[in-house]
Amino acid sequence: MSFETVSQSRCFNGTQFVYRHASHETGTPMRLAAYVPPQAEHGKAPVVWFLSGLTCTEENFTVKAGAQRVAAELGLILIAPDTSPRGEGVPDDPEGAYDFGLGAGFYVDAIQEPWAKNYRMRSYIERELPALVAENLPADMGRQGIMGHSMGGHGALTIALRNPDRFRAVSAFAPIASPMNCPWGDKALSGYLGPDCSTWREYDACALIEDGARVRDLLVDQGAADSFLETQLKPELLEQACVRAGIPLTLRRQHGYDHSYFFIGSFIEDHLRWHAERLKA
């Protein structure tokens, strides 16, 4: 299956694409953004995935993070998927809340109705979309990294922990460190998966680490002025889990920074260089 090009723009001698395709997993059209650096004109390039947070689409990271300049220098393909299925007939939170339903797929495969048919973001990100990227882009799928923000940070950590042979590098901005222990996660996991908390563990980075999952190392940036820090994000839980498991974690608490893309834009270059170093041939 091929991507349909929605738009393309020259950017730092590479090309910023927005694509659309029909997804088998979600049963809906899905959009993604892909930055292809100039080095890809001469051979396959390593891939870094960025998973966005609550309410976001593929556009937020692409437009706001300022990542293309550094990706062009380092020769990295950047893939930014949408955060949930969308379209006619796709269920949404009946009260219109921002933290469940459209824009809030939480990178899980839902098993509760009415969500189970469309909300299959885990399988979409882990299986379907990588195969399409390999088929349609000059991507070296043997060299992949993954990062994300907030809900997407949760997604990046859990997907990397479940697929350690696929990802050489993983990092996050203000991730939801333990969805089992915060209001956002409790609402999403109970809604999509049901009340049996044992089924939630594969979607919680701290629980995955406790259950034996490992990655080589982690980079996490957290704004110290983030309004969600104490109630939703709880990076100290990830820190404790990594210490117990012996996983090297670089956790940087950034004074004065909040949860916004101004925060991400301030440190995106550090993260891309972290990934590039680990994705060398």
Cβ atoms of residues 246 and 213 within 8 Å: no
User: What is the predicted pLDDT for the residue at 67?
Assistant: 98
User: What is the predicted pLDDT for the residue at 173?
Assistant: 98
Residues 173, 36: Cα–Cα separation, whole Å: 23
Average pLDDT over residues 164-180: 97
Please give the model's pTM, rounded to 2 decimal places: 0.97
Walk across the sheet containing 77-81 and list its strands: 4-11, 14-22, 29-36, 77-81, 45-51, 139-149, 167-173, 218-223, 249-254
Residues classed as catalytic:
150, 226, 259
Average pLDDT over residues 219-235: 98
The model's pLDDT over 109-166, given as tens digits with 9 standing for 90+, comes to 999 999 999 999 999 999 999 999 999 999 999 999 999 999 999 999 999 999 999 9
Could you give the number of structural domains in the chain? 1
User: What is the predicted pLDDT for the residue at 127?
Assistant: 97
User: What is the predicted pLDDT for the residue at 6?
Assistant: 98
Cis amide bond preceding 114, omega within 30: yes
User: What is the predicted pLDDT for the residue at 1?
Assistant: 73
List the CATH number of the domain containing 168.
3.40.50.1820
Residue 200 has pLDDT above 80, yes or no: yes
Residues 255, 223: Cα–Cα separation, whole Å: 6
In 3D space, the residue among 249, 254, 243 whose CA is nearest the CA of residue 221 turns out to be: 254
Q: Which domain holds residue 82?
A: 4-280
Residue 256 has pLDDT above 90, yes or no: yes
User: What is the predicted pLDDT for the residue at 278?
Assistant: 98
User: What is the predicted pLDDT for the residue at 105?
Assistant: 98
User: What is the predicted pLDDT for the residue at 281?
Assistant: 72
Share of the chain above pLDDT 90, in %: 99
The model's pLDDT over 27-80, given as tens digits with 9 standing for 90+, comes to 999 999 999 999 999 999 999 999 999 999 999 999 999 999 999 999 999 999
Residues 49, 62: Cα–Cα separation, whole Å: 12
Distance of CA 93 to CAs 98, 135, 168, 192, 197, Å? 8, 35, 36, 11, 21
